[in-house]
Amino acid sequence: MTLKTISCALALMLGSTAVLSAQDSAAAPAPAPTLGVTEAVIAKSVVDRVPQDTAAAFPAEVGQVVCWSKISGAAAGATVHHVWFHGDAQVGDVELTLGGSPWRTWSRKTITADATGAWHVEIRDASGTVLRRLDFTIGG
């Protein structure tokens, strides 16, 4: 074989490898984005999509509290749930539709004056996996 023949064969082999590599990488599915909670708080209210008066304890006469969350990795139309608990008893499940990523969303819970004690909210994905838990107390 001549040097010219070897060079042509080598160039042909390298060109074929590059095409195969490109085909292999293009055929691999893109990984699905991971749904996550980047921020979450309990607050007294939300003004202009921003939580106000955040805390871990609220007076018995608070009237209502808000679970505010910022979700990342969501496709438009995906959902999360804010599942509310007073003690160990589930007292609410609010499904929230997301418009993309990142997305801020919140739900409210009316608190009666006698609903004191330990509370928590679980932020769950559509399959029920708990993404974040927020603990707070109402009253003394």
* Interatomic CA distance for residues 44 and 129, integer angstroms: 26
- pLDDT tens-digit map of 51-96: 999 999 999 999 999 999 999 999 999 999 999 999 999 999 999 9
Give me the residue spans of the domains in the chain: 1-30, 36-138
Give the length of the chain: 140
Please, are residues 65 and 42 in contact by the beta-carbon 8 Å criterion? Answer: yes
Residues 36-138: name the CATH superfamily. Answer: Macroglobulin (MG2) domain (2.60.40.1930)
* Interatomic CA distance for residues 61 and 1, integer angstroms: 93
Q: Which DSSP category does 61 fall into? A: T
pTM attached to this predicted model: 0.77
- pLDDT tens-digit map of 91-122: 999 999 999 999 999 999 999 988 999 999 99
